[in-house]
Structure 1
Amino acid sequence: MIRLLFTSTEFRSFVAEGISTTRSLLAPDDAMVPVTSPLTPPLGDGEETDKKGAVVKRLKVQAIKKDIKQSPKKVNLVAKLVRGMRVEDALLQLQVTVKRAAKTVYQVIHSARANAAHNHGLDPDKLIVEEAFVGKGLYLKRLSYHAKGRCGVMVRPRCRLTIVVREATAEEEAKIAKLRVSNYKKLTRKEKQLMPHWLIEVSPRWARKRKEEAGATA
């Protein structure tokens, strides 16, 4: 015997309001349309929509690395070197830079390029390092033992690095193409940064002197 969970009056009211009282699905499994979860992020295609529904392409993509165990001043010396460069030229420059922070900056720029290409659909060959700035992190204080039973306080600095990349405009692409055939005379600072494959010499001067002396003696 089947026991009803509601009376006939309630059943009539449910039918009048269009409320189903059956446990079976109204539509077969083949006719069901899957609904995406609001918690699942959409795949990046390089295009976003604004409040009006218009498609807007993201212009800037960033990558951040925190808790770098180095002084922000030393990391900023390398970040300043590649600021404004093309991403390909910046990676080439960092490969020949004799600085400990060059490896860290290289990793963050490489990560920013991957984010721009994979998540937002930007062209990796047209990317430019728009911003490269360093922020101060947590400074840890430790004891520094001195002579005669005394001690001081030494600081172990930490910092964070932020790299922002964007696609080059048509004017910048034309300027880069022009610089490839020019003789690099009387260039502005921005033009020098956009100079294709123009690596800055960062080897120590004492190493240069030793090479010159070795060549003179030979």
Structure 2
Amino acid sequence: MSVGSYKDKEECGALAREMGGKPQDVLPQSCIHTSASLDISRKWEKKNKIVYPPQLPGEPRRPAEIYHCRRQIKYSKDKMWYLAKLIRGMSIDQALAQLEFSDKKGAQIIKEILLEAQDMAVRDHNVEFRSNLYIAESTSGRGQGLKRIRYHGRGRCGIMEKVYCHYFVKLVEGPPPPPEAPKTAVSHAKEYIQQLRNRTIIHTL
């Protein structure tokens, strides 16, 4: 049913009332495209609002966790991933030092984000020492790209895409954990075999 004319809108409103709803449930809310691709998820920042149950007497203090991100950065997610992986598992001071002497554009962006997260830790999460933090998670994601026209000679044109990315970081209070030993081919094979054994085969005894 088309909703272009006034008569069609009246029919949609009557149909909505018959179904027990409102005319707004059938009629479009606006002419703006509001698909799921434009709805940027905000779940990463919401993790800062998690409330844990009270700890028992004598239980070790739960370290503070700070989630911070920056979205729609004019940079490639693949280039950002290498820098994000570089500082993963480092202390906050060591990560800032590594990014300070990097000539990459993304390094300065990540440095600004880490400084923002460091200030947030002291201001909002009751972290006593701003240097007593380490990067627990550091990753990048693909942002919403834009397509533009690239003009060529002889009246031709092409499509170019302006890429954007997101950067996500999680800081945890305390010293960084010791680095994990590099995995060998045998350890990878054992993990793979264990994953195969843990599978659930449906419709069997």
Residue 98 of structure 2 is aligned to residue 93 of structure 1: yes
Paired residue secondary structure (2:155)? coil
Runs (4+) of structure 1 exceeding 2 A deviation are 48-51, 53-59
Q: Report the residue type matching 2:113 in the other structure.
A: V
2:98 is aligned with 1:70: no
Q: Is the 8 A contact 2:87 2:95 kept in 1?
A: yes
* Residue aligning to 2:158: 152
Shift in Å, 1:152: 0.6
Could you say what the CA RMSD is over the residues aligned between the two structures, in angstroms? 2.6
1:127 to 108, 122, 133: 133
Task: Kindly state the Cα deviation for residue 59 of structure 1 after the two structures are TM-superposed.
Answer: 3.1
Displacement of 1:49 in angstroms is 6.1
The 8 Å contact of residues 140 and 168 in structure 2, kept in 1 or not, is answered as: yes
Which deviations, in whole Å up to 9, do the C-alpha atoms of 1:102-150 show, x marking residues without a partner?
Answer: 1100011111111112211123222111111111111100001112211
- Paired with 1:151 and 1:71, the residues of 2 have a C-alpha distance of 24
**Per-residue deviation at 1:50?**
3.8
Larger radius of gyration: 1
- Bigger Cα displacement from structure 2, 59-68 vs 90-99: 59-68
Percent of aligned pairs with the same amino acid = 27
How far 1:101 moved relative to its partner?
0.6
- What TM-score comes out, normalization by structure 2 length? 0.56
5+ unaligned residues in a row in structure 1: which ranges? 1-47, 177-186, 190-218
The 8 Å contact of residues 58 and 120 in structure 1, kept in 2 or not, is answered as no
Distance 1:108 1:49 in 2: 24
Amino acid at match of 1:162: F
Distance 2:150 2:106 in 1: 25
TM-score, L = length of structure 1: 0.53
2:114 is the counterpart of 1:79: no
Contact kept in structure 2, 1:143 and 1:153, CA below 8 Å: yes
Aligned to 1:199: none
Q: List alignment gaps of at least 5 residues for structure 2.
A: 1-49, 183-205
SS in 1 for 2:136: strand
Separation in 1 of the partners of 2:131 and 2:71?
27
Indicate if the aligned counterparts of 1:140 and 1:155 stay in contact, CA closer than 8 A.
Answer: yes
Other structure's SS at 2:134 match: strand
